[in-house]
């Protein structure tokens, strides 16, 4: 076995090594050991590794080393020198956090841009001068079209989680942004998976790129330190079943993924009513509310986060012990990215997937595509013995820490006919009187539009 290399051995300059050490990061992960020496040399790079294995610092360290900062003697003020594109706001914020930590000594000026918030703070920072811009394609393109963001000075371009940008339909925006950067730039593309469209993108925009893969080709995409369980569950019993899982021994921070925004909000409300410290993020919430919810989850005020797939990327939070798929994921890539929130950086994790009867076939396809070799899902309920035995749930626990408050709709007030306003009754009365008068008038018989004499009837 080869001796463990340090960041200094990889050619990282002392200020960055010192900053990483201040954050407790002293030994590189495999993808970092492979990618950093190549990237520091300025070579284009395609990096592929499992979710949660340290891809951010694999490009972040070399990016920070290849730019100049105001403290450097050869620094000249100008447009941003590095651009990092991310598919989601959450991932952009997490990448920025990691870059700030790695540049704590060098003091690089880093700006995060994303939609859902006002332009003014971002425009002010761009006017003051920044060295690195991290953002989502949509807002980046808006700022470029406003001529507030100039990309003509970009030395390093990074596409992070490129396959997710493909899934979200961002590729046209990505292509437009790449076209505005110098051809002499260094381009690095990082992703957990490499669909054909991403391979084509790399061939078009990367120059003699080196492919870096931290595992052998037959390695599983899922993290091996994550124990995976699959149960066939009834939709009406799922909240109670989740309540039991949340009381398993050793359960720490937990992320629950749902397919729809409504399902996320409803489950979060039910868990809070049942006594659990739960919060939620989904597309119907504003960016400010989502950031507050994530902060509650990070600082421990909430230990359960219910989320849609918008949060499947970019949540890099320590001590996530359990991930629960409330419904079967749509495909194997979604499954990989969801359960990648646990078992990160060598830690142990548990992933539980609840499969509806209608989704059994879909789960079989995922199981086969990822070569998981998991047994066929067993029909399981909140009181099933196999659930308690698999996940270490203490015997005798109830689904809820406290009985949920029933949410009966407010009964509609019934109004009697006599309760109508007196004015309405008085107004309608003359019409009835006139109607009565019309009935007393004699009826006339007409023939060829002329009145027939003597044939009037009362």
Return the closest-CA partner of residue 144 out of 182, 115, 92, 180. 180
User: Residue 91: what pLDDT?
Assistant: 86
The DSSP secondary structure of 103-163, one letter per residue, reads: TTTT---EEEE-SSS-SHHHHHHHHH--SEEEE-HHHHHHHHHTTSS--TT-SEEEEESHH
**What CA–CA distance (Å, rounded) separates 222 from 52?**
10
User: Residue 351: what pLDDT?
Assistant: 95
pLDDT band at residue 223 using 50, 70 and 90 as cut-offs: low
pLDDT band at residue 425 using 50, 70 and 90 as cut-offs: very low
Token couple for 414: 């019934």
Q: Indicate the Cα dihedral angle 413, 414, 416, 420, nearest 10°.
A: 40
pLDDT band at residue 34 using 50, 70 and 90 as cut-offs: very high
Check residue 349 and report its DSSP letter.
E
Residues shown for the chain: 458
pLDDT for residue 445 is more than 70: no
pLDDT band at residue 55 using 50, 70 and 90 as cut-offs: confident
pLDDT band at residue 10 using 50, 70 and 90 as cut-offs: very high
User: Residue 51: what pLDDT?
Assistant: 63
User: Residue 30: what pLDDT?
Assistant: 87
Q: Which CATH superfamily is domain 14-213 in?
A: P-loop containing nucleotide triphosphate hydrolases (3.40.50.300)
Residue in the structure block whose two tokens are 């790079």: 45
- 3-class secondary structure, 451: strand
Buried b (16+ CB within 10 A) or exposed e, 346-366: ebebbbbbbbeeebeebbeeb
- 3-class secondary structure, 303: coil
Token couple for 423: 């004015």
Fold designation for 226-391: Rossmann fold (3.40.50)
Query: What's the mean pLDDT in 6-25?
Result: 94
pLDDT for residue 378 is more than 50: yes
**What CA–CA distance (Å, rounded) separates 32 from 11?**
12
Query: What's the mean pLDDT in 56-81?
Result: 93
Burial of 158 (0-12, 13-18, 19+ CB in 10 A): buried
Q: Name the range with the highest mean pLDDT among 3-12, 137-146, 208-217, 281-290.
A: 137-146
pLDDT band at residue 215 using 50, 70 and 90 as cut-offs: low
Query: What's the mean pLDDT in 386-405?
Result: 90
Token couple for 114: 């994303």
Query: What's the mean pLDDT in 263-278?
Result: 95
Are 371 and 220 in contact by the 8 Å Cβ rule? The answer is yes
CA distances from 112 to 119, 285, 340, 367 (A): 12, 20, 24, 37
Q: Where are the domains of the chain?
A: 14-213, 226-391
Which is it for the CA torsion 230, 234, 239, 245, positive or negative? negative
14-213 shares its CATH topology with 226-391: yes
Return the closest-CA partner of residue 62 out of 50, 77, 47, 72. 47
Higher pLDDT, 44 or 317: 44
Q: Which helix (H) or strand (E) holds 228?
A: strand 226-232
pLDDT for residue 237 is more than 90: yes
Sequence-separated (6 or more) residues with CB below 8 Å from residue 99: 60, 63, 64, 84, 108, 110, 132, 134
Would you tell me how many other CB atoms lie within 10 Å of the CB of residue 67?
Answer: 19
Are 341 and 320 in contact by the 8 Å Cβ rule? The answer is yes
pLDDT for residue 250 is more than 70: yes
The DSSP secondary structure of 6-43, one letter per residue, reads: PTTTTT--HHHHHHHHHTT--S--HHHHHHHHHHHTT-
Higher pLDDT, 76 or 439: 76
Q: Name the range with the highest mean pLDDT among 48-62, 70-84, 311-325, 402-416.
A: 70-84
Return the closest-CA partner of residue 161 out of 179, 188, 185, 132. 188
| Chain mean pLDDT for the chain | 85
Q: Name the range with the highest mean pLDDT among 99-108, 199-208, 442-451.
A: 99-108
User: Residue 1: what pLDDT?
Assistant: 40
Q: What is the pLDDT of residues 322-375, one digit of tens each?
A: 999 999 999 887 888 888 888 776 678 999 999 999 999 999 999 998 888 899
pLDDT for residue 83 is more than 80: yes
């Amino acid at each position: 076995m080869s001796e463990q290399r340090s960041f200094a051995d990889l050619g990282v300059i002392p200020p960055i090594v010192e900053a990483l050490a201040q954050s407790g990061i002293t030994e590189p992960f495999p993808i970092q050991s492979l990618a950093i020496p190549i990237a520091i040399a300025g070579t284009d790079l395609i990096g592929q590794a499992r979710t949660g294995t340290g891809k951010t610092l694999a490009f972040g360290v070399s990016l920070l080393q290849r730019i100049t900062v105001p403290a450097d003697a050869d620094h000249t003020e100008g447009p941003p020198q590095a651009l990092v594109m991310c598919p989601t706001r959450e991932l952009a914020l997490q990448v920025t956090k990691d870059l700030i930590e790695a540049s704590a000594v060098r003091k690089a000026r880093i700006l995060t841009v994303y939609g859902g918030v006002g332009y003014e703070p971002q425009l002010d920072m761009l006017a003051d001068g920044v060295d690195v811009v991290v953002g989502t394609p949509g807002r980046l393109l808006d700022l470029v079209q406003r001529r507030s963001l100039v990309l003509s000075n970009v030395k390093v371009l990074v596409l992070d989680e490129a396959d997710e940008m493909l899934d979200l339909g961002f590729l046209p925006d990505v292509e437009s942004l790449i076209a505005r950067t110098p051809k002499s730039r260094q381009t690095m593309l990082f992703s957990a998976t490499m669909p054909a469209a991403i391979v084509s993108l790399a061939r078009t925009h990367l120059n003699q790129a080196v492919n870096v893969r931290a595992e052998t080709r037959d390695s599983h995409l899922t993290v091996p330190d994550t124990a995976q369980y699959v149960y066939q569950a009834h939709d009406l019993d799922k909240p109670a079943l989740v309540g039991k899982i949340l009381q398993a021994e050793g359960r720490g921070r937990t992320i629950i993924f749902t397919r729809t925004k409504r399902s996320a909000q409803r489950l979060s409300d039910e868990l809070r009513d049942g006594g659990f410290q739960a919060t939620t993020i989904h597309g119907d919430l504003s960016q400010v509310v989502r950031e507050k919810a994530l902060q509650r989850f990070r600082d421990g005020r909430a230990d359960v986060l219910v989320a849609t797939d918008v949060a499947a990327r970019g949540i890099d939070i320590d001590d996530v012990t359990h991930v629960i798929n409330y419904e079967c994921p749509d495909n194997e890539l979604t499954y990989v990215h969801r359960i990648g929130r646990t078992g990160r950086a060598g830690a142990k994790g548990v992933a539980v997937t609840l499969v509806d009867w209608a989704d059994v076939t879909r789960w079989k396809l995922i199981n086969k595509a990822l070569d998981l070799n998991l047994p066929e899902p067993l029909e399981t309920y909140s009181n099933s013995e196999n659930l308690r035995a698999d996940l270490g749930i203490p015997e005798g626990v109830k689904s809820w820490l406290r009985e949920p408050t029933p949410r009966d709709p407010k009964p509609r007030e019934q109004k009697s006919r006599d309760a109508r306003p007196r004015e309405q009754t008085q107004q309608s009365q003359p019409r009835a009187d006139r109607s009565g008068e019309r009935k007393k008038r004699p009826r006339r018989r007409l023939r060829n539009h002329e009145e027939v004499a003597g044939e009037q009837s009362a």
